[in-house]
Amino acid sequence: MSEFKGNKVAPAEGKLAVLMPGMGAVATTFIAGVEAARRGLGKPIGSLTQMAHIRLGKRSEKRWQMIKDFVPLARLEDLVFGGWDPIPDDAYTAAAKARVLGPELLAPLKGFLSGIKPMPAVFDHAWVKRLEGRNVKSGTKRELVTQLVQDIRAFMDKNKCTRAVMVWCGSTEAYQEAGPAHQSLTAFERALDANDPSIAPSQIYAYAAISTGVPYLNGAPNLSADFPAMIELAEKKGVAIGGKDFKTGQTLMKTIIAPGLKARMLGMEGWFSTNILGNRDGEVLDDPANFKTKEVSKLSVLEQILEPERYPELYKDLQHKVSIHYYKPRGDNKEGWDNIDIVGWMGYPMQIKVNFLCRDSILAAPIVLDLALFGDLAARAGMKGIQEWLSFYFKSPQHAPSVYPEHDLFVQKVRLENNLRYLMGEELINYLGSDYTNE
Ligand X SMILES: NC(=O)c1ccc[n+]([C@@H]2O[C@H](COP(=O)([O-])OP(=O)(O)OC[C@H]3O[C@@H](n4cnc5c(N)ncnc54)[C@H](O)[C@@H]3O)[C@@H](O)[C@H]2O)c1
Closest to 149 in 3D by CA, of 221, 72, 237: 237
- Count residues binding ligand X (CB under 6 A): 37
Report d(CA 224, CA 244) in Å as an integer.
Answer: 9
Under the binding rule (CB under 6 A), the answer on residue 248 touching ligand X is: yes
CB-based contacts of 333: which residues, under 8 Å, 6+ apart?
277, 357, 358, 359, 360
**3-state secondary structure at position 203:** helix
Under the binding rule (CB under 6 A), the answer on residue 336 touching ligand X is: no
Is residue 67 within 8 A of residue 420, CB to CB? The reply is yes
Of 65-73, 126-134, 384-392, 426-434: span binding ligand X (CB under 6 A): 126-134
Closest to 120 in 3D by CA, of 168, 151, 85: 85
Q: How far is the CB of 345 from ligand X (least distance, A)?
A: 37
* Residue of 9, 16, 17, 131 that binds ligand X (CB under 6 A): 131
Site track 17-36 with ligand X (rule: CB under 6 A), x = hit? ----xxxxxxx---------
Name which of 123 and 392 has its Cβ closer to ligand X. Answer: 123
Of 240-248, 342-350, 383-391, 415-423: span binding ligand X (CB under 6 A): 240-248
* Residue of 170, 278, 331, 366 that binds ligand X (CB under 6 A): 170
Q: What are phi and psi of 379, to 5 degrees?
A: -60, -45
Residue nearest to ligand X (CB): 24
Under the binding rule (CB under 6 A), the answer on residue 119 touching ligand X is: no
Q: How far is the CB of 359 from ligand X (least distance, A)?
A: 8
Under the binding rule (CB under 6 A), the answer on residue 412 touching ligand X is: no
Is the four-CA dihedral 81, 86, 89, 94 of positive or negative sign?
negative
Under the binding rule (CB under 6 A), the answer on residue 281 touching ligand X is: yes
Name which of 284 and 342 has its Cβ closer to ligand X. Answer: 284
**3-state secondary structure at position 255:** helix
Q: What are phi and psi of 168, to 5 degrees?
A: -70, 115
Is the four-CA dihedral 169, 171, 175, 180 of positive or negative sign?
negative
Residues found near ligand X in the complex (CB under 6 A)? 21-27, 84-87, 98, 121-123, 128, 131, 133, 169-172, 201, 219-220, 245-246, 248-249, 279-281, 284, 360-361, 363-364
